[in-house]
């Protein structure tokens, strides 16, 4: 049979494809619907938090931080309750990471405050002596891309039925209204908790620095 296959490339290719496609189908499909279920009471990310998630992805925090607490006592002692599948139901993409050069962040909102984050992102060694994390000072001047985050919320609401309210809808007018009514006030609240005058001034002027959005996201991780 193998000699014959080696002389008939088409059937050889079909044979290879079936052999490699098999495992994926068998392991991914059976639990797919179940794994997509959210836990009870899980709320989707707010637009500000989504923008912060965008900053987390842009500066690639996941190259050093995981968001997956494994079911071991040493991990639950250090980081809190182990992670559950349903907690990730609105995570597109998932951000589990693969290396902990820094600690896990899945429940960092439980034990770090916005002003701790503000100091830490400006100069990590000021709150963690010996830290090897770079300072992310550019996040204090770069403006967060809230519009893309809003577009993402509209997309997941429309395509995947993520339960956002009626005020999340397509179009620029809807975005502008939502930005003023919902996003800016939320950002101001976080900026005040971060106790940084410059950040507060920027938000009051209608601009949201990346770090404010990022901290809104980190504060939500609980």
Partner 1 sequence: MQSNAAMEYDYSIVKLYMWTTVIFGIVGMLIGVIIASQLAWPQLNYWLGEYGTFSRLRPIHTNVVVYGFMISGIFVGFYYSAQRVLKVSMGESKLLMTLGYLQFFLYLIAASGLVISEGMGITTSKEYAQMEWPLDILIVVIWVLWGVIMFGLIGMRREKALYISMWYYVATFLGVAMLYLFNNMEVPTQLLSGGLGAWYHSVSMYAGTNDAMVQWWWGHNAVAFVFTVPIIALIYYFLPKESGQAVYSYKLSLLSFWGLMFIYLWAGGHHLLWSTVPDWVQTMASIFSVILILPSWGSAINMLLTMKGEWNQLTDNPLIKFMVLASTFYMLSTLEGPIQAVKSVNAIAHFTDWIPGHVHDGVLGWVAFMVFATLMHSAPRVFKREIYSKSLLEAQFWIQTVAVVLYFTSMWIAGITQGMMWRAVDEYGNLMYSFIDTVNVLHPYWVIRAVGGTLYFIGLLMFAWNFFMTATAGRKLETEPQFRSPMA
Enumerate residues 26-55 that contact partner 1 by CB under 8 A.
Answer: 27-28, 31-32, 35-36
Compute the least distance from the CB of residue 192 to partner 1, in Å.
26
Whichever of 99 and 180 has its CB closer to partner 1, that residue is: 99
SS3 125: helix
Q: What is the DSSP string of 135-160?
A: P-GGGGTSBP-HHHHHHHHHHHHHHH
# residues near partner 1 by CB under 8 A: 86
Of 24, 41, 161, 205, the one binding partner 1 by CB under 8 A: 24
87 touching partner 1, by CB under 8 A: yes
Of 81, 113, 122, 151, the one binding partner 1 by CB under 8 A: 151
Q: CA 31 to CA 25: how far, in whole Å?
A: 11
For the CA atoms of 143, 87, 60, 128, what is the dihedral angle to 10 degrees?
90
Compute the least distance from the CB of residue 172 to partner 1, in Å.
7
Interface characters, 175-214, with partner 1 (x: CB under 8 A) = x---------------------------------------
Name residues contacting partner 1, limited to 115-144 (CB under 8 A): 128-136, 138, 142
11 touching partner 1, by CB under 8 A: no
Compute the least distance from the CB of residue 38 to partner 1, in Å.
9
Structural tokens at position 180:
């003023």
Name residues contacting partner 1, limited to 152-181 (CB under 8 A): 152, 154-156, 158-160, 170-172, 175
Length of the chain: 222
218 touching partner 1, by CB under 8 A: no
Structural tokens at position 85:
């599948």
Using the contact rule CB under 8 A, the part of the chain among 20-28, 112-120, 188-196, 214-222 near partner 1 is 20-28
Q: CA 45 to CA 42: how far, in whole Å?
A: 9
What letter does residue 209 receive in the DSSP assignment? B
110 touching partner 1, by CB under 8 A: no
Answer whether 123's CB lies under 8 Å from 85's CB: no
78 touching partner 1, by CB under 8 A: yes
CA geometry: angle 180, 186, 187, nearest 5 deg: 90
Q: CA 160 to CA 47: how far, in whole Å?
A: 16
Q: CA 84 to CA 6: how far, in whole Å?
A: 48
Structural tokens at position 74:
């040493």
Whichever of 36 and 201 has its CB closer to partner 1, that residue is: 36
């Amino acid at each position: 049979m193998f000699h014959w296959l080696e002389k008939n490339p088409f059937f050889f290719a079909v044979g290879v494809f079936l052999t490699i496609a098999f495992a994926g189908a068998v392991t991914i499909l059976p639990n797919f619907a179940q794994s997509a279920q959210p836990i009870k009471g899980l709320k989707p990310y707010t637009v500000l938090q989504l923008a912060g998630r965008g900053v987390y992805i842009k500066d690639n925090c996941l190259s050093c931080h995981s968001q997956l607490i494994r079911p071991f006592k040493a991990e639950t002692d250090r980081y809190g309750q182990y992670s559950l599948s349903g907690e990730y139901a609105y995570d597109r993409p998932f951000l589990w990471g693969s290396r902990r050069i820094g600690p896990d962040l899945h429940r960092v909102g439980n034990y770090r405050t916005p002003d701790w984050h503000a100091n830490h992102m400006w100069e990590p060694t000021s709150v963690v002596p010996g830290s090897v994390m770079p300072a992310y000072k550019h996040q204090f001047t770069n403006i967060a891309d809230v519009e893309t985050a809003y577009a993402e919320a509209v997309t997941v609401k429309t395509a995947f039925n993520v339960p956002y309210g009626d005020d999340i809808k397509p179009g620029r007018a809807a975005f502008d209204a939502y930005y003023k009514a919902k996003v800016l006030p939320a950002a101001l609240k976080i900026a005040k908790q971060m106790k940084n005058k410059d950040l507060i001034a920027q938000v009051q002027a209608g601009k949201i620095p990346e770090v404010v959005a990022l901290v809104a996201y980190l504060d939500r991780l609980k």
